[in-house]
């Protein structure tokens, strides 16, 4: 992910915009359709100078700063704490206890990790990554998982799948149903 994409996601996150609203907020800010804003948030597209200028103005930063600096690092965000909060907050109701038990810690320890009062050991960090099925190379201390567009936790994945299926038109659903049925029948 390039710095501009990361920075835009970070600015939205810092503003307190929920991940599900990032596309709508950016579309409103840029005066574009939701598809364009989602392309921008997804990365890999060139932003127009006007788009960069609008974002920079809205967040009171320079265009060059938006393009070239890593704002997460510049603003000294505790990436580990933000990642853990994001992962823990994505757990379904009652799953926090299960998560703590799987890691061999008390639920209060998980709360202390979320609040930055305590930091997990390297071993626990690896087990957190394993629990959430994060890629092997994920470094929770440095990689801003909390800015990812992809669902990470089981409840996020279920919610995402539900939203995608609800958004399908009848013909598309009819065409996809046999494949979905085969995939999900064997679970």
Q: Residue 103's domain spans which residues?
A: 79-147
Q: Which position has the token pair 């929770």?
A: 140
Same structural domain, 137 and 159: no
Compute how many other C-beta atoms are within 10 angstroms of the C-beta atom of residue 8: 26
Query: 22-26 contacts: CB < 8 A, separation 24 or more?
Result: 22/149, 26/55
Same structural domain, 65 and 34: yes
Q: Looking at residue 104, what is its pLDDT?
A: 95
Same structural domain, 44 and 60: yes
Domain-terminating residue out of 33, 53, 74 = 74
DSSP state letter for 140: T
Same structural domain, 56 and 108: no
Minimal CA–CA distance to 15: which of 68, 65, 61, 69?
A: 61
Same structural domain, 60 and 93: no
Domain-terminating residue out of 21, 39, 74 = 74
Following DSSP, what letter does each residue of 36-91 receive, concatenated? HHHHHHH--SPPPHHHHHHHHHHTT--HHHHHHS-HHHHTT--HHHHHHHHHHHTS
3 state DSSP class of 126:
helix
* Token duo for residue 26: 């950016």
Instruction: Give me the number of domains the chain comprises.
Output: 3
Give CA–CA dist 180/12, Å, rounded.
34
The model's pTM is 0.82
Same structural domain, 65 and 102: no
- Domain CATH code at residue 129: 1.10.260
Same structural domain, 36 and 93: no
* Token duo for residue 14: 């810092």
Domain-terminating residue out of 53, 74, 95 = 74
* Token duo for residue 179: 């494949």
Give CA–CA dist 173/75, Å, rounded.
45
Q: What is the pLDDT along the chain (187 residues), one digit of tens a residue?
A: 578 999 999 999 999 999 889 999 999 999 999 999 999 999 989 999 999 999 999 999 999 999 999 999 999 999 999 999 999 988 877 888 999 999 999 999 998 998 889 999 999 999 999 999 888 889 999 999 999 988 877 777 888 888 889 989 999 999 999 988 888 887 6
- Domain CATH code at residue 37: 1.10.260.40
Tally of helices (H runs) and strands (E runs) in the chain: 12, 0
Rg of the chain over CA atoms, in angstroms?
19
The gap from C-alpha 185 to its chain's centroid, in whole angstroms, comes to 29
Same structural domain, 111 and 174: no
Minimal CA–CA distance to 66: which of 78, 83, 54?
A: 54
Same structural domain, 36 and 62: yes
């Amino acid at each position: 992910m390039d710095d501009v994409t990361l920075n835009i996601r970070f600015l939205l996150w810092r503003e307190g915009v929920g991940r599900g609203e990032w596309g709508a907020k950016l579309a409103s800010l840029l005066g574009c359709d939701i598809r364009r804003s989602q392309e921008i948030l997804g990365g890999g597209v060139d932003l127009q100078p006007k788009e960069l200028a609008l974002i920079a103005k809205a967040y009171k930063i320079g265009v060059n700063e938006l393009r070239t600096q890593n704002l997460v690092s510049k603003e000294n965000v505790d990436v580990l704490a933000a990642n853990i909060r994001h992962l823990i907050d994505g757990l379904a109701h009652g799953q926090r206890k299960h998560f703590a038990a799987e890691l061999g810690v008390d639920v209060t320890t998980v709360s202390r990790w979320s609040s930055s009062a305590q930091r997990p050991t390297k071993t626990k960090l690896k087990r957190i990554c394993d629990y959430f099925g994060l890629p092997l190379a994920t470094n929770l201390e440095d990689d801003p998982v909390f800015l990812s567009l992809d669902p990470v936790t089981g409840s996020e994945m279920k919610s995402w799948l539900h939203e995608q299926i609800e958004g399908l038109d009848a013909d598309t659903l009819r065409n996809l149903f046999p494949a979905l049925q085969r995939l999900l029948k064997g679970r």
